[in-house]
Structure 1
């Protein structure tokens, strides 16, 4: 597997871990470590990223045609993303801006594919 794909995978894992950490700190009032529930979600998200066969071509899990998360974990990660996403600009601004740029590029790419 190419180093580009591995870098992308590592970045995705780092991002999801930061978002879960932010969620846990704000919602569960933890300091420095995740509560048991959030740690389980983080471990699950990292495992799913490690096993993702579409890493080379996808941008974000939400855009993937195959949703590999179990329904309960998918709902939990959605809740984390809805909460943490808007707050990332204050806590991790570079990562947040990169995400917006990649989202816009992906939206244009998907629109082009839809026109073909």
Structure 2
């Protein structure tokens, strides 16, 4: 499987950077055995799930914040894990990542777009569907 992070751009890439920063904060505080790039194996796997979900989001570049999205694309276990990461890391993001934090807070306030059009996902555009 290709690494979706290498294929994301624009708003989706910024969202991936935000999620990555949150995962690093969470992992550093909760997991003792860290991998050389800052994430343990469990957190790396969750980040890969997040990358895939961003790549395949039906809204594409117009993606709403996940907590406001009417489409629930995460399975229950990764969804709970991601909620725990966001709940812990969100308040701790402002000092180490002020710009990402403010962008994320503004993004959460945006209105949820109407039903996504077919082929709007990053993956569909990349594959020419």
Asked if these proteins are the same fold (TM beyond 0.5), I'd say: yes
Alignment correspondent of 2:98: 93
Partner of 1:26: 29
Q: Count residues in correspondence.
A: 104
Q: How far apart are 1:27 and its partner, in Å?
A: 1.1
- Report the equivalent of 1:56: 61
For structure 2, the residue ranges without an aligned partner over 5 or more in a row are 1-7, 115-129
Q: Alignment partner of 1:65: what SS?
A: coil
1:7-26 alignment runs, 5 A limit: 7-26=10-29
Q: Deviations over 1:3-58 (max 9, x none)?
A: xx930111111111111111001111337421111111011110111111112333
Normalising by structure 2, we get a TM-score of: 0.72
Which of residues 72, 78, 88 is equivalent to 2:77?
72
Distance of 1:103 and 1:64 partners within structure 2: 10
8 Å Cα contact 2:23-2:47 kept in structure 1: yes
Q: TM-score, normalised by structure 1?
A: 0.80
Q: Distance in 2 between matches of 1:6 and 1:65?
A: 23
| Alpha-carbon distance in 2 for matches of 1:43, 1:102 | 22
Distance in 2 of aligned mates of 1:33 and 1:99: 22
Question: What is the root-mean-square deviation in Å for CA atoms of aligned residues?
Answer: 2.0
**Which structure is richer in relative contact order (CA contacts within 8 A, separation 6 or more)?**
2
Question: Would the aligned equivalents of 2:57 and 2:63 in 1 still touch at CA under 8 Å?
Answer: no
